[in-house]
Structure 1
Amino acid sequence: MVRADSLMEIDMDSAPSALRMLDSMSPHVPYLSKSRRMRYELLRAKAMNKSNVYFRSDSTMKEVAAYYSHHGTPNEKMMAWYLLGCVYRDLGEAPAALEYYQKAAACADTTAEDCDYSILNKIYAQSAIVLHSQKLIDEELDMWHKAEYCGKRAHNIRMAISAFENTVRIYYALNDYNKVMQISDSASSAYLNSGYKDKAARAIFIQIDIYLKRGDIKNAEACLHKYEKYGDIFSSPGNVKPGLELYYYYKGLSLLASNRVDSAEYYFRKMLTGSARDEKEAAYRGLLSVYRSRRNSDSVFHYARLYCDANDSSWLRLTSSEAQRVQSLYRYTRNRQQAELREREVSELRLMIVFLSVISLIVVLELYMWHRRRSFRMKSLLLEKNRMYSDLLHRSGEISRELSAALGENSRLASELEASGRRLRAELDKMQDMSSTDADWASLQKLMESDLIKNLHDQAAHGRSAGQKDWSRLNTYVENRYPRFLSFINNLGSNSLSQNEKKVAILIKLHFLSSEISCLLDISPQNLSNIRRRLNLKLFGSSRTSELDRNIRDCKN
């Protein structure tokens, strides 16, 4: 888990590898302690979030967040609530996501030297994104400013500039184009000074739209040139990377404004290959402008209709999104009211329990004091008589009483130990599916004196396979203890045993259970069953695996 956590902190591309690493240990998770299981689920959710894997349920993270609300460091508490907010973000529950982001931020100990400002930056950035979808502009702007501050405190300049750059879309929505130009210029310069040429070029992309709206073709083309040259946007010559298709639209508008109509049409048509509806709407709008400039009325009518249809589709999608936002707010409000009602009921019940507990405590205390006073009076009356009687008993019967008690205790203890031994042997016979002889029992007791055997049993109990050093030590142990048996299984001629078959034979000889052997060899029970059948056939000429354990243990040493 530590390795997976370190791996996902390297970069975003390493997160899927960390997720696969964590998923590979999922069969062992039910056997972990609660603290380690919660740690595992926290790291797995973190890896999923970094790998852009959508959360589909809130049940696991609710349990994790509840656990870390009372355990762990402030950074772990902050991470748990943040990831629960991300779950509700993916489930489309924006108000709930905001609530848990706020809880996460409240867990941060900003006075501590190890405060994780990187996580805090993500919390504020995610809050800003949710607030943007809820059209809460002032609150969104505040979140981006806090994210920028945390990026600086985390000494992550790229993170801080990114938060500052994201305020652009707020001022763009407010039609404050001067502020947009100012912020994008500042962000671009900051990126450039920090060595991020591609991000510096991308930061001014929004200026292309503003220059084209103002009819400033020269500056629009200059911005396009920087974007093309330094933005790292092309996957192959002439083709942009997925998600950057809007470049085609502005490239087409720039060419159209320069009367290069054919070239503009080429870029508008490249947008039609995309699957996003917004891209098609922009493409139809661009082609409409192309054919309007050519005065081709049939094509103008055709693309005007397509543009209207795409625009209507976008409007319906926006309306649906707005309806979902209102519905989400309604569900959150209703759930919050129900939660508050339950909380009031629990508070009232808790108050009643406290009241009854206090009354009960008073009654019990009074009874105790009465009993204590009564006992004290009785003790005072009998004290002298008891002292005299005690002295006589002590002097006359001390030696015989102690001797009898010691003999009786040893006899009873011996009986109990003998009964416990019989029960233990019966239980071991049941687990081994065979009846042990006195020689078997003595052999098993002798084996358990070895640290190597104890360690192998412990490894099997924890589901771990034996390593090469363990097998080497075990081979030496068997060579010293059972030399004739080792010679027997090593010299079978044409029926020679494979390495796994030899290991199985040795482990059976040493009284290991089949389930333990599967773990130590890291093989399936079915595979082990097949090996046992082959082993009995090669060693004793019988395919009945039920006889194998007795045959091997009765074999010459």
Structure 2
Amino acid sequence: MNRAILLIITIIIAFFYSCYGPKYRKGLTEADSIASVNPQRAMAMLDSIKHEMADAPENEQMYYRLLCIKAQDKAYIKHTSDSAILPIVEYYETEGDKNLLSEAYYYAGSVYRDLNDAPQALEYYHKTLDITSDNKIPQKGHLYFQVGNLLLNQALYNQAIDMYQKALRLYNIQNDSINTIYTLRNLAYTYNKAEKKDSSLVYYQKAYQLARQTKYKHVKIEVLAQMASVYIEKKNYIKAKECLSPILNKPDSIELSPDYCMALKICMNTGQYDSAHFYAKELLTVGTVYAKQTASRYLTELALKEKNYNNAEEHLKQFNKYTDSVKIITATESVNRMNSLYNYKLREKENLMLKAENANKKLILTIVISVSFIIFVILITYVYRNRQKLERLGRLRKQLYEQSEEYVRQNKEKIQELEQELKRTSDENMLLIERIEQQRADLILANQTAMRKQARNESSKNRIAATDIYKTIQDHIKKDKVITPKEWETLDRTVNQEVNDFKDNLYSYHRISQHEYHICMLIRLALSPTEMATLLGCTTSAISKARRRLQEKFFSDNGTAKDFDNFINSL
């Protein structure tokens, strides 16, 4: 029951969020719309608005960072680190636009795919599948295809076949010819690796027939080459030669190493030794280390057939050398595979799916009662949070007022009034005298507290001004230079050493971006908007807007940027 209620709450919040969720500037949405079809142009568009992102709201900054990763992925630029994607995933999991969470998970999977971390990649791809609706056919098709590739690389062939079959069904529904061909090709390859060669050839034939109907000639060549490889393994050299001949007759369209290697095997097994000699020699020039190993072995056999024992000895030495290299590569690949092998728990996954189905059935039974309860909970939550917000604003305003010169002045006036009242009060009225004395003492203590805070703030300002980082900043202002990331770290440490819990106090009132926090530190240094703009590499107008925006964030009113400066100096 509790799980059903929580699920309903999530659905309703997601609905309202989708209707009234955050809006993004045109440049971001345009870059997103073309990222899949023209990633280079999308990357150029994102680069052109990079400078705008420094002052953008946090939701736009995170959307921009996600789009940069998306465009790079679509442009086949290999990811080399997970440092950029992890903060994005955390943001959309906790507070960001939930409509973008599936994309954040997907590109996290793509990052770990490029880092050869199969377990992490599969985890994020499965998370994406779990929150991607069934009507999003293209996205689900690509997800199943990616999961199939990862499972294939981990030698989990049966599981990979299942994923490719699911992808194939979705691509067929969508009439997506090119992705259907690639999925058929990968299915065929996986069946071959699983020692199901007849099934492999069936899917290769399907891929080849479909490829012939498209303009993607290179795909047809790839399929033919892989079919030839299967026929060679089945020792059906006639069929293998039929597949390979169209490729070898168009040398500008082939990958020489694998195709020459297959041609060599066909020639050796059909007694065409002159042709075999030609391909073997070619492979020693253009082949991979695996192909050179094969070429050396067959050249040794040919030399022995010709009773040319000197050549046979030389080729045998070459074969042993390449064999040692292959062993090293194979051992490295085996270690990598063992380190990243994903323990794919299919039975557990099926159990989770059954539990989800049962939960859905229970959901249907409880939804009528739950909706009214959810509305009540949402209303109570709204009232409670609104009350908390008003109380927080009240505390903030009171804190600022109790540190102001106006507060001290008014207290002094009240103290004078109480002293006059004391003079007018007779000595017999001890209760009144005691009450007036207590009020007077309270006001004196309040003034002393306010003046101590003012003195403390002035003292911290003076101490900061005596530090090396402050002198560095003043030098940057003179030379029109921006603060480096390392200098920001130093400034952060210095400010929080001299102003106790400056950052914690600030964040306890409201969460802000790193750029906004930098502005708050510079305000504490009593720098002018012009000086801040120099250090941050932006315009004075941008600084003023950011300060006004911060005032609205913290106080929800139309106060000025100067009001926010006073608040920062009071911490």
- Return the TM-score normalized by structure 2: 0.51
> Could you say which residue in structure 2 is the equivalent of 1:268?
280
- Displacement of 1:258 in angstroms is 4.9
Would you say the 8 A contact 1:202–1:227 is kept in 2? Answer: no
| 1:234 aligns to 2:252 (yes or no) | yes
Matching residue's letter, 1:180: S
CA distance in 1, matches of 2:79, 2:262: 35
Aligned to 1:318: 330
Aligned to 1:104: 128
Q: Which amino acid aligns with 2:151?
A: L
Matched letter for residue 123 of structure 2: E
Secondary structure in 2 aligned to 1:268?
A: helix
Shift of 1:124: 1.8
Q: 1:109 offset after TM fit, Å?
A: 1.0
- 2:80 is aligned with 1:60: no
In 2, Cα distance between equivalents of 1:17 and 1:291: 56
Distance 2:91 2:331 in 1: 39
**Structure 1 counterpart of 2:245:** 225
Counterpart of 2:32 in structure 1 is 5
What is the aligned counterpart of 2:308 among 296, 317, 340? 296
Structure 2, unaligned stretches of length 5 or more?
Answer: 1-27, 345-383, 385-477, 479-529, 540-571
Report the Cα distance in structure 1 between the residues aligned to 2:233 and 2:111, rounded to whole angstroms. Answer: 40
After the TM superposition, which residues 410-421 of structure 1 pair with which residues of structure 2 at under 5 Å, given as runs?
Answer: none
Letter in 1 for 2:252: F
1:367-516 residue pairs with structure 2 within 5 A?
none
The equivalent of 2:422 in structure 1 is none
Q: Cα deviations across residues 250-293 of structure 1 (Å, max 9, x unaligned)?
A: 22333444544343333223333347433333333343344344
Q: In structure 2, do the counterparts of structure 1 residues 128 and 216 end up closer, same or farther at CA, with 3 Å as the change threshold? A: closer
Deviation at 1:194, TM superposition (A): 4.7
Which amino acid in the other structure matches residue 133 of structure 1?
N
What amino acid does structure 2 have at the position aligned with 1:312? D
Tell me the residue number matched to 1:467.
Answer: none
SS of equivalent to 2:285? coil
Instruction: Note the C-alpha offset of 1:22.
Output: 2.6
Residue 89 of structure 2 contacts residue 104 of structure 2 at CA under 8 Å; is this kept in 1? yes
Q: Give the CA deviation at 1:101.
A: 0.8
Structure 2 counterpart of 1:127: 147
Provide the C-alpha distance between the structure 2 equivalents of 1:211 and 1:325, rounded to a whole number of angstroms: 28
**Aligned partner of residue 320 in structure 2, secondary structure:** helix
1:143 correspondence with 2:163:
yes
Q: Which has the higher contact order (CA 8 A, sep 6+)?
A: 2
Going from structure 1 to structure 2, the CA distance change for 1:195 and 1:269 (only over 3 Å counts) comes to same
Q: Which whole-Å CA distance do the structure 2 matches of 1:139 and 1:159 have between them?
A: 19
- Pairing 1:181–2:201 present: yes
Residue by residue over 1:35-88, the C-alpha shift from the partner in whole angstroms, topping out at 9 and shown as x without a partner, is 211211111111221222222221221121223335677763222111101111
Cα distance 1:72–1:159, how it changes in 2: closer, same or farther (>3 A)? farther
- In 2, are the aligned partners of 1:277 and 1:314 still within 8 Å (CA)? yes
In the TM superposition, what whole-angstrom CA distance separates every residue of 1:447-481 from its partner, at most 9, and x where no partner exists? xxxxxxxxxxxxxxxxxxxxxxxxxxxxxxxxxxx
Instruction: Find the counterpart in structure 1 of residue 59 from structure 2.
Output: 35
Instruction: Answer whether contact 2:118 2:341 (CA < 8 A) is retained.
Output: yes
Q: Report the Cα offset of residue 219 of structure 1.
A: 2.4
Give the structure-1-normalised TM-score.
0.52
Following superposition, the deviation at residue 146 of structure 1 comes to 1.6
Name 1:464's counterpart in structure 2. none
What amino acid maps onto 2:68 in structure 1? Answer: R
Amino acid at match of 1:189: Q
| Aligned equivalents of 1:2, 1:207: Cα separation in 2 | 43
Identify the residue that residue 366 of structure 2 maps to in structure 1: none
Change over 3 Å in CA distance of 1:38–1:154 after alignment to 2: farther
Q: Deviations over 1:347-387 (max 9, x none)?
A: xxxxxxxxxxxxxx9xxxxxxxxxxxxxxxxxxxxxxxxxx
Alignment root-mean-square deviation, CA: 3.6
- Secondary structure at 2:243 match in 1: helix
Residue 172 of structure 1, CA deviation: 1.6
One-letter amino acid matched to 1:302: E
Distance in 2 between residues matched to 1:174 and 1:106, nearest whole Å? 28
In the alignment, does 2:260 pair up with 1:252?
A: no
1:310 CA displacement: 2.3
Per the TM alignment, residue 129 of structure 1 is displaced from its structure 2 partner at its CA by 1.9
Aligned mate of 1:77, from 96, 101, 107: 101
How far apart are the structure 1 equivalents of 2:55 and 2:334? 46
Provide the C-alpha distance between the structure 1 equivalents of 2:190 and 2:343, rounded to a whole number of angstroms: 27
SS at 1:53's partner residue?
coil
Select between 169-178 and 282-291 the one with higher mean Cα deviation.
Answer: 282-291
CA contact 1:85–1:96 (8 Å) conserved in 2: yes
Letter of the structure 2 residue corresponding to residue 305 of structure 1: K
Q: Is the 8 A contact 1:42 1:61 kept in 2?
A: yes
Secondary structure of the residue aligned to 1:167 is helix
Match in the other structure for 1:206: 226
Name the amino acid aligned to 1:234: D
Measured after TM superposition, the shift of residue 20 of structure 1 is 4.1
Q: Is the 8 A contact 2:184 2:206 kept in 1?
A: no
How much identity, in percent, do the aligned residues show? 24
Q: Residue 118 of structure 2 aligns to which amino acid in structure 1? A: A
Amino acid at match of 1:311: T
Q: Secondary structure at the match of 1:69?
A: helix
Matched-pair contact (CA < 8 Å) for 1:152–1:160: yes
Change in CA separation of 1:22 and 1:263 when aligned onto 2, cut-off 3 Å: farther
CA shift, 1:98, in A, is 0.8
**CA-CA distance at 1:193 after TM superposition:** 3.9
Q: Give the Cα separation in 2 of the matches to 1:187 and 1:213.
A: 19
Q: Equivalents in 1 of 2:59, 2:93: separation in Å? A: 13
Name the counterpart of 1:191: 211
1:171 alignment partner, one of 191, 195, 209? 191
- Secondary structure of 1:273's aligned partner: helix
> Residues 108 and 181 of structure 1: is their aligned pair in 2 closer, same or farther, counting only changes over 3 Å?
same
1:205: how far off?
A: 1.9
Paired residue total: 329
Task: Tell whether the 8 Å contact from 1:207 to 1:223 is kept in structure 2 after alignment.
Answer: yes
Q: 175, 182, 187: which one pairs with 1:162?
A: 182
Q: Which 4+ runs in 1 deviate beyond 6 A?
A: 71-75, 512-516
Q: 1:50 to 1:299 in 2, by over 3 A?
A: farther
Q: How many angstroms apart in 1 are the aligned matches of 2:288 and 2:140? A: 33
Contact 2:188 2:202 survives alignment (8 Å): no
Equivalent residue for 2:113, pick from 89, 93, 108: 89
1:490-537 CA distance string (max 9 Å, x none): xxxxxxxxxxxxxxxxxxxxxx99989x989xxxxxxxxxxxxxxxxx
